[in-house]
Amino acid sequence: MSTPETARRGLILINTGPGKGKTTAALGTAMRAHGNGMRVLFLQFLKGSWHYGELDAAQQLGPDFVIKQLGKGFVKVGGAETDPADLKLVEDAWAESAEAILSGDWDLVVLDEINYAIGYKMLDPERVAEVLRQKPEMVHVILTGRNAHPLLVELADTVTEMREVKHAYQKGILAQRGIEF
Domain assignment present for residue 6? The answer is no
Q: Which CATH number is 51's domain given?
A: 3.40.50.300
For residues 67-95, average pLDDT: 80
Inside any domain, residue 176: no
Q: What is the pLDDT of residue 8?
A: 82
CA distances from 134 to 14, 18, 90, 155, 159 (A): 17, 29, 21, 12, 20
Q: Of 93, 72, 95, 99, whose CA–CA distance to 83 is shortest?
A: 72
180 within domain boundaries: no
How far is residue 174 CA from its own chain's centroid? 24
Does 94 reside within a domain? Answer: yes
Cβ atoms of 112 and 27 within 8 Å: the answer is no
pLDDT tens-digit readout, 118-157: 999 999 999 999 999 999 999 999 999 999 999 999 999 9
* Domain limits for position 110: 12-171
**Counted domains in the chain:** 1
Residue 3 domain-assigned (yes or no)? no
Q: How confident is the model at residue 160, as a pLDDT?
A: 98
Percent residues over pLDDT 90 in the chain: 70
Residue 74 confidence (pLDDT): 61
Q: Is residue 143 part of a domain?
A: yes
